[in-house]
Amino acid sequence: MAAGDLWIDGAPATVEDLTHQALVNYGAYTSFAVADGAVRGLDLHLARLTHASRALFGAAVPEDRVQNLIRQALGDRADAFVRVSLFSREISPRSPAHEGPPRVMVGVFQPVSPLGETPLRLQMQTYARETPDLKHVATMGLIRARRQARLAGYDDALFVDAEGRISEGSLWNIGFLGGDTVVWPEAPMLEGVSQALIKAHLADVGLKQETRVLMVADLPGFQGAFITNSATPACGVAAIGDHAFAVSVECLANITAAWSRAEPQPV
């Protein structure tokens, strides 16, 4: 990600604040694209921060304040990629027990391009994120998994737990295509905002959906798969391990159309 502007509680980030975040890996974040001054699923991003704030800090920052801080950091920029992070300088390895509303850092960056039209080849890895319901800043495991996949000749990593249940990827959720039905994995994971937007509108584009436990052995029963995250509504999957999938441009267009049905919400 290219260098951008960093604001903390409405003021330019200080060296002291950034030093703390460089040394203390405790906090939460969410990230999203801003287009024409609006965000699809902004309410879900704000709710994600509220949930994480209560879980990690014992108190939440009011959502209207977070939204105001985002608006202030954007200034007159209508298009950007934004990351909102929560942290507390009062929490450290030696002093972990502080409770109170965290500070809010907003990073504003150049828009991020979605993944291209080339379908992804995914390496299966046995891994489960710590506290998977939170989008927290402890991302070493995710980066390491993605790095291992790239070094092995794949594009990214798909996580499978010790019982063989498929969950999520390094930076995205995955859905599987069976006829006119999208099947989502049921396992401990972070439900992404883009995934939630797609779920809310699949019926609008004539697709059914279900959520159930998916094992590696279930892969041959699907015609295709796709990944989705805040930068990419839908990107096809060419293979998971040795199992190849056909990639349907029409199916991917329908998934993207479902995502597009979500009304952009002004910042």
| CATH for 59 | 3.30.470.10
Give 214: exposed, middle or buried? Use CB within 10 Å, 0-12, 13-18, 19+: buried
With respect to residue 115, please indicate whether it lies within any of the assigned structural domains: no
Co-location of 104 and 124 in the same domain:
no
Question: Which residue segment(s) compose the domain that 199 sits in?
Answer: 120-266
If asked whether residues 172 and 233 sit together in one domain, one would say: yes
CA dist 182 and 224 (Å) reads: 10
Which of 82, 109, 136 is a domain's end point? 109
Is residue 257 domain-shared with residue 138, that is, in the same domain? yes
CATH, residue 137? 3.20.10.10
Q: Are residues 90 and 158 in the same domain?
A: no
User: What is the dihedral angle through the alpha carbons of 134, 238, 120, 30, rounded to the nearest 10 degrees?
Assistant: -20
Residues in the chain, total: 267
Q: Identify whether residues 52 and 126 lie together within a single domain.
A: no
In a domain, 248, yes or no: yes
For residue 1, the model assigns a pLDDT of: 44
For residue 160, being part of any structural domain is answered with yes
Q: Identify whether 171 is part of a domain.
A: yes
Into how many domains does the chain fold?
Answer: 2
Q: Is residue 163 domain-shared with residue 104, that is, in the same domain? A: no
pLDDT at 113: 86
Tell me whether residue 195 is in a domain.
Answer: yes
Instruction: Quote the pTM value.
Output: 0.94
In this prediction, residue 229 carries a pLDDT of 96
Last residue of a domain, one of 57, 78, 109: 109
Residues 39-76 as b/e (b if ≥16 CB within 10 A, e otherwise) read bbbbebbbebbbebbeebbeebbebeebbebbeebbee
- Tell whether the torsion through CA atoms of 88, 90, 91 and 92 is positive or negative: positive
Burial of 166 (0-12, 13-18, 19+ CB in 10 A): buried
Residue 104 lies in a domain: yes
Examine the domain organization and report whether 105 and 124 are in the same domain.
no
Indicate the residue among 79, 109, 139 that finishes a domain. Answer: 109
Helices (H), the chain: 15-23, 42-57, 63-74, 140-151, 193-201, 249-260
* pLDDT averages per 10-residue partition of the chain, 267 residues: 79 93 95 97 98 97 98 97 97 95 97 86 96 94 97 98 95 96 97 97 97 96 96 96 93 96 97
**145 lies in the same domain as 242:** yes
In this structure, is residue 114 part of a structural domain? no
Q: Are residues 89 and 164 in the same domain?
A: no
pLDDT for 3: 55
* 238: nearest Cα among 149, 146, 119, 115: 119
Q: Are residues 101 and 156 in the same domain?
A: no
CA-derived radius of gyration, the chain:
19
Same domain, residue pair 173 and 136: yes
For the chain, give me the number of helices (H) and strands (E)? 6, 16
Q: Tokens at residue 147, please?
A: 């790095």
Domain shared by 85 and 128, yes or no:
no
The position carrying tokens 């029963």 is: 221
Per-residue pLDDT at 175? 98
Cα distance between residue 196 and residue 209, in whole Å: 12
Instruction: For residue 23, give Cα distances in angstroms to 16, 89, 91, 92.
Output: 11, 11, 11, 9
Side chain identity at residue 246, one-letter code: A
